[in-house]
């Protein structure tokens, strides 16, 4: 869910890469990570199994320096494509502002593409969202395959809505940024239509901008100038201003979402995770959860979770995993995920208040 901090003039939007198993979602995110200026990106967090399949989700925070008067912060997620991870897909999809659907051009993947698109539609509908009016972009990935399914056939299977679509080769990065660019444009348009972001007002003192195809394209070029590093791109007319780093390198994606009062504790959990100390990670998450939930007021943990709109079963699950000990990587990653949810809920609730 997009959040707008009017005081800080910052918009945060969540974009999810969706699609069948092995279609190239994680590879796409890795290419984006490599392309974005280091000063504008956070850590890429991936949680693969031994066979390199996404277990829970991948996450990459990216900061686009300016959209009009606002700084745009994007949280890019991939879902696990394997059919039996639907519960995880639903969780990751919650509160998303746009979806990049990564379809597989492999001839054997036609059914999987169709089923994954239907699954997206169904999971969004459960959240009260109609795909017809939701920002959606399609990548036809693996176009390098000699026997790639013809585009017209791919379109017939996954693009009945005629949304912007792109041929991509995530392995080399071909087309990936074009798709991302279209996604950003649609998300911003949608945020404006929903009046979450104010429309760009003309500035009387500013020189008249050159005519562009539409309002979005000038915005888009502004966004991309700040976002992308292309080694072979011609030099920009004026040097892009140096942006402050999104997060200090020592802060990972979970701590980056934390309110200031909880950043250090969240970092303890993240550092434990990256050191393979999964027990320590789950314990640190539990302590941080307790402190964070306390911002909801004096009440039982269940009531605090309820007030913040957190799933009580998830909170209980973290508790159980912490008590049980001998935590594994999935215990730790699940705990970090629940902690991220808490941070998002706290931000939405405006907690902690300055007095706290």
Ligand X SMILES: Nc1nc2c(ncn2[C@@H]2O[C@H](COP(=O)(O)OP(=O)(O)OP(=O)(O)O)[C@@H](O)[C@H]2O)c(=O)[nH]1
On the 0-12 / 13-18 / 19+ scale of CB atoms within 10 A, 150 is: exposed
The rounded distance, in Å, linking the Cα atoms of 223 and 38 is 16
Answer for which of 12, 14, 26, 338 binds ligand X (CB under 6 A) is 26
The secondary structure of 181-197 as a DSSP string is HHHHHHHHHHHHHTTSS
User: CB 40 → ligand X: shortest distance, Å?
Assistant: 22
User: CB 291 → ligand X: shortest distance, Å?
Assistant: 33
C-alpha torsion 222→228→231→237, nearest 10: 20
Kindly report the number of other CB atoms within 10 A of residue 320's CB atom. Answer: 11
**Of 343, 349, 318, nearest in space to 331 by CA:** 318
Which one of 131-139, 141-149, 211-219, 346-354 is the stretch in contact with ligand X (CB under 6 A)? 141-149
The rounded distance, in Å, linking the Cα atoms of 255 and 141 is 33
Answer for which of 23, 116, 288, 333 binds ligand X (CB under 6 A) is 23
Which one of 17-25, 63-71, 269-277, 294-302 is the stretch in contact with ligand X (CB under 6 A)? 17-25
Q: Are strands 10-18 and 98-104 parallel, antiparallel or unpaired?
A: parallel
The rounded distance, in Å, linking the Cα atoms of 310 and 294 is 13
145 binds, among Mg ion, ligand X, none (CB under 5 to 8 A by kind): ligand X
The rounded distance, in Å, linking the Cα atoms of 201 and 333 is 43
41-100 positions binding ligand X, by CB under 6 A: 52-54, 78, 80-82
Answer for which of 74, 100, 170, 338 binds ligand X (CB under 6 A) is 170
Residues that bind Mg ion (CB under 5 A): 25-26, 54
Answer for which of 3, 4, 10, 21 binds ligand X (CB under 6 A) is 21
Q: Are 59 and 45 in contact (CB under 8 A)?
A: yes
Q: Map residues 287-326 to x or -, x wherever contact with ligand X holds by CB under 6 A.
A: ----------------------------------------
169 binds, among Mg ion, ligand X, none (CB under 5 to 8 A by kind): ligand X
The rounded distance, in Å, linking the Cα atoms of 5 and 196 is 10
The rounded distance, in Å, linking the Cα atoms of 99 and 49 is 24
283 binds ligand X (CB under 6 A): no
Give me the residue whose beta carbon is nearest to Mg ion: 54
Which one of 146-154, 169-177, 185-193, 204-212 is the stretch in contact with ligand X (CB under 6 A)? 169-177
Of 20 and 292, which CB lies nearer to Mg ion in the complex structure?
20
Whether residue 160 is preceded by a cis peptide bond, meaning omega within 30 degrees of 0, is no
User: CB 111 → ligand X: shortest distance, Å?
Assistant: 15
141 binds, among ligand X, Mg ion, none (CB under 5 to 8 A by kind): ligand X
Of 17 and 295, which CB lies nearer to ligand X in the complex structure?
17
Q: Which residues bind ligand X (CB under 6 A)?
A: 19, 21-27, 52-54, 78, 80-82, 141-142, 144-145, 169-171
């Amino acid at each position: 869910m997009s959040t707008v901090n009017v005081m800080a003039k910052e918009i945060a939007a969540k974009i999810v890469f969706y699609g069948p198993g092995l279609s190239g979602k994680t590879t796409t995110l890795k290419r984006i990570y490599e392309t974005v200026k280091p000063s504008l990106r956070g850590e890429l967090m991936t949680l693969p199994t031994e066979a390199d399949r996404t277990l829970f989700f991948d996450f990459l925070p990216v900061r686009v320096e300016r959209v009009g008067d606002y700084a745009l912060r994007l949280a890019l997620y991939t879902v696990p494509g394997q059919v039996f991870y639907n519960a995880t897909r639903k969780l990751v999809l919650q509160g998303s502002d746009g979806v990049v659907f990564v379809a597989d051009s492999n001839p054997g993947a036609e059914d999987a593409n169709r089923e994954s698109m239907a699954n997206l539609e169904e999971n969004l509908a459960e959240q009260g969202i109609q795909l017809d009016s939701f920002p959606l972009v399609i990548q036809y990935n693996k176009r390098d395959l000699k026997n790639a399914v013809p585009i017209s056939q791919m379109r017939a299977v996954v693009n009945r809505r005629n949304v912007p679509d792109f041929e991509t080769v995530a392995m080399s990065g071909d087309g990936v940024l074009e798709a991302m660019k279209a996604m950003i444009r649609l998300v911003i348009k949608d945020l404006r239509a929903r009046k979450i972001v104010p429309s760009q007002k003309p500035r009387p003192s500013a020189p008249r901008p050159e005519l562009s195809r539409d309002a979005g394209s000038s915005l888009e070029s502004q966004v991309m100038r700040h976002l992308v590093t292309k080694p072979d791109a011609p030099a920009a007319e004026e040097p892009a201003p140096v942006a402050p780093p999104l997060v200090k390198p020592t802060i990972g994606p979970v701590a980056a979402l934390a309110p200031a009062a909880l950043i250090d504790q969240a970092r303890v959990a993240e550092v434990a995770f990256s050191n393979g100390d999964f027990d320590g990670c789950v314990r640190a998450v539990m302590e941080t959860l307790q402190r964070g939930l306390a911002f909801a007021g004096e009440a039982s943990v269940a009531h605090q979770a309820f007030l913040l709109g957190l799933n009580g079963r998830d909170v209980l699950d973290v508790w159980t995993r912490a008590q049980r000990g001998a935590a594994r990587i999935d215990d730790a990653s699940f705990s970090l995920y629940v902690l991220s949810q808490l941070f998002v809920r706290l931000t939405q609730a405006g907690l902690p208040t300055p007095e706290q």
